[in-house]
């Protein structure tokens, strides 16, 4: 089973980090430290693969700037949870119980400091260029968020919240969920990365039932926000995929107990495609006043186009980050003793579970 998610996002509110909510279940956490190109992601992938080979349940958390790399893995061996995570900026993990719950894995011990010192000026220059490119990306992303706020203001004027809330209540009742306190786990399934906008289909792959909610200029995401709010009062485990750019909005919800997914449909049409899975299409347009929507549609579309342009600007800036990031990785790779690191990794993965 594919258990790939994100645990952070490059958002309109800066770097949005869900590490605490994701890894707070862990009884033991290995915090991996090291510079770019020092093998942190490869180390965590080795741990993840070894755990899967031992029959453990593994959740892999992809890097929100490079989905080909890992930010961490959460492993359940049948008795306890074990976390292995990248503890370097921007998702710095400060140990709460160092040496007891958290253990530091320092990959910096395998680099040659003299080689790095000899390239000090180049490292500093590339670091500054990378930081500047990130700042540009976040400026564009803030624009996206501000424009979505305008769209939300317009939607509130045309949306019948009471009607939508009643519809959500009826759906939850039809699912037969018991009252209680939900366990909510934030696990985004999309990210604005150095290599483009990435979406992971884990929720749909895990689902047996799919409810596709018409996007309708953003109403579908508001529908899912209301669904999340009502599910908080049910005795279920819920994974919530918050929007990468606008983390106050929701793209998908997975109710794990009944393997049911609610997701937005960008096309405003029934897009329930997975073979062998049942589902329904929810037309979110029925929650708005049609005449009022027609009057506001022009401005909603205009802000949408501006938001898309800002997102494209952010992606372009992140493509610059990509260049500087991998140049830095090359420098650090050339300073690493990978033979010693491989021996260390082999010994570690055989003993940590």
Whole-angstrom distance between the N-terminal and C-terminal Cα of the chain? Answer: 20
pLDDT tens-digit profile, the chain (353 residues): 469 999 999 999 999 999 999 999 999 999 999 999 999 999 999 999 999 999 999 999 999 999 999 999 999 999 999 999 999 989 888 888 899 999 999 999 999 999 999 999 999 999 999 999 999 999 999 999 999 999 999 999 999 999 999 999 999 999 999 999 999 999 999 999 999 999 999 999 989 999 999 988 899 999 999 999 999 999 999 999 999 999 999 999 999 999 999 999 876 555 544 444 567 899 999 999 989 999 999 999 999 999 999 999 999 999 999 999 999 999 999 999 999 999 999 999 999 88
Q: Look at residue 265 in the predicted model and tell me its pLDDT.
A: 86
Q: Look at residue 193 in the predicted model and tell me its pLDDT.
A: 98
Q: Look at residue 352 in the predicted model and tell me its pLDDT.
A: 87
Sheet containing strand 70-76, strands side by side: 4-6, 57-62, 70-76, 81-86, 28-33, 102-106
Q: Which of 335, 331, 322 shows the shortest CA–CA distance to 63?
A: 322
pTM: 0.93
SS3 335: coil
Q: Look at residue 278 in the predicted model and tell me its pLDDT.
A: 67
Domain boundaries, the chain: 4-111+337-351, 160-287
CA distance 108 to 36: 10
CA distance 181 to 225: 17
Judge whether 29 and 55 are in contact, CB under 8 Å: no
What are the DSSP E strand ranges found in the chain?
4-6, 8-11, 14-17, 28-33, 57-62, 70-76, 81-86, 102-106, 183-186, 190-193, 196-199, 209-214, 237-242, 250-255, 260-265, 278-282
Judge whether 296 and 157 are in contact, CB under 8 Å: yes
Query: What is the greatest pairwise CA distance in the chain?
Result: 70
């Amino acid at each position: 089973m594919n258990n790939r998610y994100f645990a952070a996002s490059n958002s309109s509110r800066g770097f949005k980090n869900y590490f605490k909510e994701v890894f707070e279940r862990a009884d033991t956490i290995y915090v991996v430290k090291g510079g770019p190109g020092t093998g942190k992601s490869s180390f965590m992938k080795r741990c993840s693969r070894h755990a899967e080979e031992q029959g453990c349940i593994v959740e892999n958390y992809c890097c929100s700037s490079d989905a080909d790399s890992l930010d961490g893995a959460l492993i359940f061996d049948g008795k306890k949870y074990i976390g292995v995570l990248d503890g370097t900026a921007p998702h710095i993990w400060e140990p709460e119980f160092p040496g007891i719950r958290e253990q530091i894995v320092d990959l910096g011990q395998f680099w040659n400091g003299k080689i790095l010192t000899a390239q000090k000026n180049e490292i500093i220059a590339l670091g500054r260029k990378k930081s500047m490119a990130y700042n540009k990306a976040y400026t564009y992303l803030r624009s996206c968020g501000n424009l979505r706020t305008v769209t939300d203001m317009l939607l509130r004027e045309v949306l019948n919240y009471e009607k939508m809330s009643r519809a959500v209540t009826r759906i939850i009742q039809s699912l037969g969920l018991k009252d209680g306190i939900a366990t909510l786990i934030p696990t985004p399934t999309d990210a604005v990365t150095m290599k483009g906008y990435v979406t992971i289909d884990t929720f749909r792959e895990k689902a047996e039932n799919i409810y596709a909610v018409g996007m309708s200029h953003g109403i579908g995401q508001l529908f899912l926000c209301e669904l999340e709010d009502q599910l908080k009062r049910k005795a279920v485990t819920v994974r919530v995929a918050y929007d990468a750019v606008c983390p106050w909005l929701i793209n998908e919800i997975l109710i794990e107990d009944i393997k049911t997914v609610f997701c937005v449909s960008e096309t405003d049409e029934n897009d329930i495609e997975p073979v062998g899975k049942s589902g329904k299409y929810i037309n979110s347009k029925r929650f708005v006043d049609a005449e009022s929507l027609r009057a506001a549609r022009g401005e909603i579309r205009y802000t949408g186009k501006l938001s898309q342009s800002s997102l494209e600007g952010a992606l372009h800036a992140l493509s610059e980050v990509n260049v500087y990031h991998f140049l830095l990785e090359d420098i650090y790779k050339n300073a690493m003793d990978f033979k010693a690191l491989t021996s260390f990794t082999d010994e570690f993965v055989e003993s940590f579970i």
